[in-house]
Each structure stands twice: as C-alpha cells, then as structure tokens.
C-alpha cells in the first residue's frame, strides 16, 4: 500500500479573455495528488493523506480520488478553503504558478490526523510545499520520523518559491529528509534554485553518503539520470509533441515507484541491489510515462495499458 502525502488543490488555467474579464478552467491538481492518481492509474493500491475542504471544491477533489480508486480514508476534512494554483504557460508549455492558499485546508492538518494513516502502508511518498508550510509540515515530519524505519520513504521537494520564498527553508527540509529517505527524485530546475552551479553527480554522491538509497535527477527534455551507491544510469529523451509539462514530474515519480513495485523492489536493500541496466529500464519506463502526460493538456496521467 502506497500512502501519498501533501496537497490536493485546484489548478486554474486562463483560457482567454472575455468582454468582461478572463475565462478560467479549474482542474484538480497538486503534486502529491497527481502522484496518487498516477499510481492508481498504473494499477497500484494507494491512499492519500492530506487536508481537503468540506466546500464544493474539496468535494470535487474527493470525488475525483474515489473515481480513480484512490483510498480516501486518511483524508482530514475541514471547513478551510481549497488552495488555488493559477497556472500560466510559456511558449514551450512550461508552467509557472501563483498560489492562493494561506489558511487553506491542505495546510491545516494537525498531528492528530496521523491516526488516519493506514497501518498497512509499506511506501510513503511526501513532497512539494506542504513539507515546508506549517502546521502540515510538522505533521508530515512526524509521520516520516515515525515510519522511515518501517516503510520505504519517497521524497520530491518540488520547490515552489512563490509559496515559501526562503530557499534556506527548502534546503533545511531537504537536509532533514536525507537520512530518512530511500528514494529522492529532484528536478534540475529545483537544483538550480537550491544549489546553483553545483554538479548534479556531486550532489547525488553527497546525498547517497547521507543515507539516500536512490537519487534521480529529472532534466526535462534531456531525460533523467539516477544513482545508487553501486550503479548509475540515464533515461534517454522521449520525443513528443508537448502540449504542456504540468504533472510531468509527478508522472515520472508514480511510474518509477510502479516499476519498482512490479519487480518487488520496494525496499532499500532491493533498490540498492539494482544493476545499471535495471536502473536504466526503470528510468526509461518513467520517462515514457511522463512524455504521455506532456502530450496532453494538464496533469492527465497515463494508465497502465498505455505503457504496455
């Protein structure tokens, strides 16, 4: 059982001007939410742990999870509003975000909510801005501290400086996670913010020494590269007509976890034992999945049959 932790929100896209303003298209989203849906679509058992609003947008998020067969027993429902992420796309389809979420339901998750986390969890994935905004960040740290010796911990920083502009806060969170993380996936864009000018391989070796079992750096159109203590491999770029890249990294994460699950390799020792050719296979599988998402509007993640 996967448990994905973090924010579920609404991504709001501008669809053009109207005589009196701007038309909007609101779509379910949030990086952890996307990972949960991605796992479910890839036929993995998954629950979502996070805060959702009791309002109509929160109800829509819950309905979407249930329709995708994401287990909702761990949800913390409150009267707080749903976070809105306004999404702008550049000419290459790369998104920029402006978040409206102060005091929103996804951030107001108390320690007592941890009682809802399924006891049969074997993998816990955390990431994005819920790991650095309180009080939910403290709740997620308590969960990781409690479970990292029993469960495989997966982590994607997914930095959003327009939510938390202090880069030092993100670095602090990453450093805290290192000895508690088995699988660390980070984008080259995030690394340029956290450690500008530092070679990716140097960072990966440092993080492996700190306790991480597998480090993966995604590089957009350049593919991805991964390291364990004994193996290194690259995913080749996948040629696709890009509509936008919303949800691409989340798709990569879900697909990488799925590849490991399908080979009974969701444990630190099993990941550490991967050969370079196996690691390359895993990264290429995840890259193909991400390319499918890039070929569609928004975070429309692929199903297992599309990756047969």
Give domain limits for the chain. 2-307
189-201 mean pLDDT = 97
| CATH class assigned to 2-307 | alpha beta
DSSP state of 295: T
Predicted confidence band of residue 92 (pLDDT cuts 50, 70, 90):
confident
- Chain segment 147-162, per-residue pLDDT in tens: 999 999 999 999 999 9
Residue 150, both tokens: 């029993």
- Chain segment 60-70, per-residue pLDDT in tens: 999 999 999 99
- Residue 214's DSSP bridge partners are 183
- Chain segment 101-148, per-residue pLDDT in tens: 999 999 999 999 999 999 999 999 999 999 999 999 999 999 999 999
Q: What percent of the chain has pLDDT over 70?
A: 100
Phi first, then psi, for residue 257 (nearest 5°) are -65, -40
Q: For residue 234, what are the CA distances in angstroms to 18, 161, 216, 280?
A: 46, 28, 9, 6
DSSP state of 71: B
2-8 mean pLDDT = 97
CA atoms within 13 A on the CB side of 264: 0
* Stronger pLDDT, 22 or 88, i.e. the higher one: 22
Mean pLDDT of the chain: 95
What per-residue confidence (pLDDT) applies to 50?
98
55 contact partners, CB below 8 Å, separation of at least 6: 79, 81, 82
- Chain segment 16-65, per-residue pLDDT in tens: 889 999 898 898 999 999 999 999 999 999 999 999 999 999 999 999 99
Q: What percent of the chain has pLDDT over 90?
A: 86
What per-residue confidence (pLDDT) applies to 257?
98
Walk across the sheet containing 84-89 and list its strands: 21-29, 9-18, 84-89, 95-100
Neighbours of 165 (CB within 10 A): 9
Predicted confidence band of residue 297 (pLDDT cuts 50, 70, 90):
confident
């Amino acid at each position: 059982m996967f448990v994905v932790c973090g924010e579920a929100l609404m991504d709001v896209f501008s669809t053009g001007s109207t005589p009196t303003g701007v038309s909007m298209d609101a779509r379910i989203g949030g990086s952890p939410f996307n990972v949960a849906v991605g796992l479910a679509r890839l036929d993995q058992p998954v629950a979502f742990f996070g805060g959702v609003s009791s309002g109509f947008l929160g109800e829509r998020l819950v309905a979407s999870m249930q329709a995708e067969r994401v287990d909702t027993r761990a949800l913390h429902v409150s009267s707080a509003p749903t976070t809105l992420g306004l999404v702008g796309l550049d000419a290459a389809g790369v998104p920029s975000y402006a978040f409206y979420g102060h005091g929103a339901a996804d951030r107001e998750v108390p320690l007592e909510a941890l009682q809802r986390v399924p006891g049969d969890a074997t993998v816990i994935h955390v990431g994005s801005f819920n790991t650095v905004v309180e009080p939910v960040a403290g709740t997620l740290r308590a969960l990781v501290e409690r479970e990292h010796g029993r469960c495989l911990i997966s982590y994607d920083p997914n930095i959003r400086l327009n939510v938390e502009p202090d880069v030092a806060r993100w670095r602090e969170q990453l450093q805290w996670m290192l000895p508690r993380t088995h699988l660390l996936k980070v984008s080259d864009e995030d690394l340029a913010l956290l450690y500008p000018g530092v070679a990716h391989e140097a960072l990966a070796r440092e993080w492996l020494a700190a306790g991480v079992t597998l480090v993966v750096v995604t590089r957009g159109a350049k593919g991805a590269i991964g390291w364990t203590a004994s193996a290194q491999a690259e995913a080749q770029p996948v040629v696709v007509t890009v509509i936008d890249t919303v949800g691409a990294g989340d798709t990569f994460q879900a697909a990488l976890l799925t590849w490991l699950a399908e080979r009974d390799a969701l444990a630190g020792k099993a990941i550490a034992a991967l050969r370079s050719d196996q690691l390359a296979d895993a990264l290429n599988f995840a890259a193909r999945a991400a390319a499918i998402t890039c070929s569609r509007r928004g975070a429309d993640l692929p199903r297992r049959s599309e990756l047969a």
